[in-house]
Structure 1
Amino acid sequence: MSDTGVLILEEFLPFRLSVLSNRVSSAVAKLYEDRFDLKLPEWRIMAILGRNPNLTASQIVDISRMDKVAISRAVKRLVEMERLTATGDPQDARRQRLNLSDEGWKIYDQIVPLALSVEEKLLAGMNEEERAALHTAITLLDRAAAKLD
């Protein structure tokens, strides 16, 4: 046995967060794919642009912390499906500014209530104090994780 002790994986916070994220993401992804022909990265891009229009793919990577290649593929597919528009950036011809198209906004407006419903189901067993504590804990963990980079 090593001097560092034993790692009990199912109690290890990074593992638990990953499993939880995967479980929720899988359920949500199935919902979006079945109803809207959207993969989860595509929906995340649409959600980001719904709140923050006119971003570049690099800015979406920074906000979402998703893989650059996954973002690129998802943007390409969303543009092909006419759910996003991509226009040249007047300040840098190598970049494109991304926005939801009219079709993208129609889908966004349908998905938002579903997304909020999923969130409410996840939080249904918690009172307001527990919800606030969870929000605080996630914020603190996110700050700590940012320092690990």
Structure 2
Amino acid sequence: MKTPDSSFAYNLHDVTCLFRKNFDRRAIRFDLTRAQWRALKSIRRREGMSQAELAEFLEMEPIAIGRVIDRLVAADFVERRADPSDRRRWCLHLTAKAHDVTDDMEVLAEALRHEALAGISQTDFDAFERVLAQIRANLLTIDPTTESSDS
């Protein structure tokens, strides 16, 4: 194993940035910001979550996520529905328009992942995922309050 000055964390960061740049370039036709896309994807995974839950999940300030949701509501991507068990809580739901766009964006993301993994064997990729999972587990053991929002 290399010494602690290994640049693997920088490589992880660079790969993440390159994924984002490539995705943003391909997704420009959807006219959504990254924050809006992340919100749509998160709501799709947990339909009915509250705005506060979304803010916590995305590690964003409530006021910032409120603006994102306001724009998505105005663009007819998201609906706020009253929670029948708590009048103060609003549940977030995707519209049919949002489902169409998120379906298209998932196809785009899958194509990007496929291209990014070209030339990598399934065995190597499986080992990579195990290593990432172990690094994540190690970091959570150090500070369990740093639970990732993308889990």
TM-score, length basis structure 1? 0.78
Deviations, residues 18-49 of structure 1 (Å, cap 9, x unaligned)? 232222112212322x2111111211221222
Q: Indicate the residue corresponding to 1:87 in structure 2.
A: 81
Aligned counterpart in structure 2 of residue 108 of structure 1, from 87, 102, 111: 102
Are residues 1:145 and 2:142 paired?
A: no
Please report the RMSD computed on the Cα atoms of aligned residues, expressed in angstroms: 2.3
Shift of 1:112: 1.3
Q: Indicate the residue corresponding to 1:23 in structure 2.
A: 18
For residues 134 and 12 of structure 1, do their structure 2 counterparts lie closer, same or farther at Cα, with a shift above 3 Å needed?
Answer: closer
CA distance in 2, matches of 1:142, 1:123: 21
- Number of aligned residue pairs: 139
Tell me the percent identity.
Answer: 21
Identify which of structures 1 and 2 has the higher relative contact order when contacts are C-alpha pairs closer than 8 Å and 6+ apart.
2
- Structure 2 gaps of 5+ residues are 147-151
Q: Indicate the residue corresponding to 1:52 in structure 2.
A: 46
For residues 108 and 12 of structure 1, do their structure 2 counterparts lie closer, same or farther at Cα, with a shift above 3 Å needed?
Answer: closer
Maintained 8 Å contact 1:53/1:100: yes
Are residues 1:38 and 2:32 paired?
A: yes
Shift of 1:57: 2.4
